[in-house]
Amino acid sequence: MFRLFLKAMSLIVVLPATTLAATLESLEFTVPVSVSALTIHGKVENQDFQIEKNEKGIQSIQISIPADHFKTGIELRDRHMRDKIFTDSQGTVHPIAFKSKNIVCSSTDSCKASGSLSIRGITRPYNLSFTYKDNQAVIQGSVLLSDFEISPPGYLGVNVKNEIVFQGKISESL
């Protein structure tokens, strides 16, 4: 019986994970608005974060992006975005944060990270899809503002819609 236990334990292999620095080279976001001919575009550039990897691949992802790193190219719009999207009712400005320790990749380089996304201090389950090849990842997805108890803001009769679409490129710093 004891030998069977030892044999079973020898089958459990825990590979040590290495923490690596990574850079979100660019994250572009698109926000449709109530006026059909308009769309708000913005980006985040060169945001550092950490991933853990072992021989089997990516084991965890942890990224936090400060609110003032989201830029649309118009300072007034950026300030409104920080006030209406990132600032809670007590006046605290929160970063957007994503954490996952559950990453599954297929043989076709398609991956899914199941974790948690925090916006305005509210955390919800979130699945992030990405492709991963040659130490680079391309991410894409969308977020509903209402999932984070955020009413889509507006200015001068132009209101943003509920869904924010994003795509980005990540590279490891080896």
Q: Over the stretch 121-154, which tens digit does the pLDDT of each residue have?
A: 999 999 999 888 887 888 889 999 999 998 888 7
pLDDT at 174 over 60: no
Q: Are 96 and 110 in contact (CB under 8 A)?
A: no
For the chain, the C-alpha Rg in angstroms (whole number) is 19
SS3 per-residue string spanning the chain = CHHHHHHHHHHCCCCCCEEEEEEEEEEEEEEEECCCCCEEEEEEEEEEEEEEEECCEEEEEEEEECHHHCECCCHHHHHHHHHHHHECCCCCECCEEEEEEEEEECCCCEEEEEEEEEECCEEEEEEEEEEEECCEEEEEEEEEHHHHCCCCCEECCEEECCEEEEEEEEEEEC
Residue of higher predicted confidence among 43 and 4: 43
Let me know if residue 115 belongs to a domain. Answer: yes
Residue numbers of the domain that contains 50: 26-173
What pLDDT shows up at residue 58?
A: 78
Let me know if residue 62 belongs to a domain. Answer: yes
Residue of higher predicted confidence among 7 and 132: 132
Let me know if residue 93 belongs to a domain. Answer: yes
Let me know if residue 21 belongs to a domain. Answer: no
Q: Over the stretch 58-112, which tens digit does the pLDDT of each residue have?
A: 788 888 888 888 888 889 888 888 888 888 889 999 999 999 999 888 877 888 9
**Domain count of the chain?**
1
Q: Over the stretch 16-54, which tens digit does the pLDDT of each residue have?
A: 567 766 777 778 888 878 777 778 888 887 777 777 877
Q: Which of 94, 15, 10 is nearest to 58 (CA)?
A: 15
Let me know if residue 3 belongs to a domain. Answer: no
CATH number at residue 156: 2.40.128.110
Query: Percent of the chain, pLDDT > 90?
Result: 21
What's the pTM?
A: 0.80
Let me know if residue 16 belongs to a domain. Answer: no
* Alpha carbon 32 to its chain's center: 20
Let me know if residue 20 belongs to a domain. Answer: no
Q: Over the stretch 154-169, which tens digit does the pLDDT of each residue have?
A: 778 888 888 988 888 8
Q: Which of 40, 44, 21 is nearest to 30 (CA)?
A: 40
pLDDT at 15 over 50: no
